[in-house]
Chains A and B, each alone.
Chain A
Amino acid sequence: MAGLATLGMLAVLSVAVPVFSPYPIDEIFWDAIGTGPSLAGGHLFGTDANGRDLLLRTLYAGRISLAVGLAASVVSVLVGLAWGTVSGYLGGVTDSLMMRFVDILYALPFMFFVILLMVYFGRHVVLIFVAIGLVEWLDMARIVRGETLSIKRREFVEAARAMGAPSMGIVLRHVIPNVVGPVAVFATLTVPRAILFESFLSFLGLGIQEPMTSWGVLISEGATQMETQPWALVFPATFLAATLFSLNFLGDGLRDALDPKVR
């Protein structure tokens, strides 16, 4: 619950920031370039190397990072769950073909294609969602398939099948509820992975365009000067960590709530 609350708060802050912000995101304070956090200076989180308020930028960054994490995870859960259960449950040739497809995509060094994608089509934020979602659903599909395979042979599924329940029904009623535990856990891992993948792109200089920013961009900028301007790393990193911790608790809570065996 605390996780959900923190997450909600971060989200609200990030989404609402333009409303209460006294100045735009790219406002430069020429007299306060690269200064540390201070109440008197008016910059609670300090400023970045260009003299822009870091509190404001961290909150703005949250919008992009949360959106990237969420969008990519939703894509990966939906596609991965559907693909994995169908493939695992049907088995045989269908399974082989579907998994072969996943294998091919898997063996493609995705990072390289994402880089090309960014290079070729520019740095649109939607493209970042798509690219990351495309990478992440493969993992999900494989995990779901693995779980489905072992659930399929369990007594209660065999029983349902013996009683003549339709495949679709079995998948929806028995398989999906049983894979939800691992999926929820993995989804809580996917959000940070998506956020981190975005930061990886930022590290390579392929992240989002200025003046917009993301936690990944801020952290990769901050990491280069961790000795001289630690605040530029600490604040965005704290926000990211808080988000990920919240997702962690959320995932655990989800599992407890959804797991039929615990219930």
Chain B
Amino acid sequence: MIRRLASAVPTLFIIVAIAFFMIRLAPGGPFDRERVVPPEISANLNRVYHLDEPLPQQFIRYLKGLARGDFGPSFKYRDFTVTELIAAGFPVSLKIGLFAMVAAVLFGVGLGAWAANRRNTVADHLVMGLAMTGIAVPNFVVAPLLSLVIGVYLNLLPVGGLGDGGIRHLLLPVISLALPQVAYIARLSRGSVLEVLNADFIRTGRAKGLTERRIVFRHALKNALTPVVSYLGPATAAIVTGSVVIEQIFGIPGLGRYFVQGALNRDYTLVMGVVVTYGTLIIVLNLAVDMLYGVLDPRVRRD
């Protein structure tokens, strides 16, 4: 485990390196505007932000800063440092992402197991139909639809912003973010529960006269969770991607929008900060998923 943790550092280094040089390849710079600035002024700006140095030197400078936990100044939001922006945005994104993830797993596995238990009944078809709809309809349709109906027509929940950070403001974004993942996980867990239900030890249980409900929830589910756990990684990635859309549509001050905005604005330091933050998050989550694997299926426990 410690070995794996240690290996996260070079992984992160490679990510930082790739990201650093890739963003610099993109045409245009952070201070490009429609209005042409006198060359003297852009020279000054470049000097202040060390953009006049050779790239490798800038990279080393960046790494040094990073080692001290300093992400540098934002090129676009000039009153804030990247560290401040991330410190403000990350908890918001994390909160929404975490809620969405928990909701996705609970509802997804629940629905999937339930549907599997009633294989080929109307209920099964209904749940799976809904799940497919959940997958088929993109975030950027669900989110405005929800905010139109629940926020504008019914006026039950706020449509945008974070307000005081209370649950009222979080509910719509979390639902929109979780919905496709609920659907995916329901599909996955239904499939794997069905598979497990055919396995020998379940047949034995059935022969012993255990109720179907007990079999599903007690025995089948635990074994059927492996693919779901495998899917947690992709789900995280999907939720990160989804948060870009959701945060934009609901006007949420999270990190997701910096992803795209940062890249489009050529806000080099902000982009790097977000890449490092998400890179670390994903590495940590992958470790956690591996540990879960071991717990659920002792056969795959690492030596």
Residues of A within 8 A of B (CB): 100, 103-104, 106-113, 115-116, 119-120, 138-139, 142-143, 146-147, 149-150, 153, 181-182, 185-186, 189, 192, 196-197, 199-200, 203-204, 216, 219-220, 223-224, 226-227, 233, 237, 240-241, 244-245, 248, 255, 259, 261-262
Contact = CB atoms under 8 A, between A and B. Distances in A.
B271 interface: yes
Contacts of B129: 245
A119 B138 contact: no
A111 B259 CA distance: 8
B136 A244 contact: yes
A244 B191 CA distance: 17
Contacts of A116: 22-23, 25-26, 263
A119 to B, nearest CB: 5
B138 A216 contact: yes
Q: Which of A115, A233, A255 has the most CB of B within 10 A?
A: A115
Given A107-B283, A111-B244, A116-B26, A199 B138 contact: yes
B19 A108 contact: yes
Interface stretch (B10-18, B52-60, B64-72): B10-18
B27 A120 contact: yes
B191 A185 contact: yes
Interface string B259-286: 1100110000001001100111011001
Interface string B211-252: 000000000000000110111011001001100110000000
Contacts of B234: 138-139, 142
B297 interface: yes
6 contacts: A103-B11, A107-B278, A107-B279, A143-B227, A150-B299, A223-B140
B227 A182 contact: yes
Nearest to A185: B191
Contacts of B199: 261
Contacts of B244: 111, 204
A185 B230 CA distance: 14
Q: Helix, strand, loop or mixed for chain B's interface?
A: helix
A107 B11 contact: yes
A261 B227 contact: no
Contacts of A262: 198
A149 B302 CA distance: 11
A223 B199 CA distance: 45
Q: Which of B188, B227, B245 has the most CB of A within 10 A?
A: B227
Interface in B1-48: 7, 11-12, 14-15, 18-19, 22-23, 25-27
Given A120-B27, A185-B191, A106 B227 contact: no
Interface in B151-196: 184, 187-188, 191-192, 195
A202 to B, nearest CB: 9
Given A108-B279, A120-B27, A146-B230, A192 B135 contact: yes
B191 A241 contact: no
Contact of B274 (A109, A227, A245): A109
B132 A241 contact: yes
Contacts of A113: 22
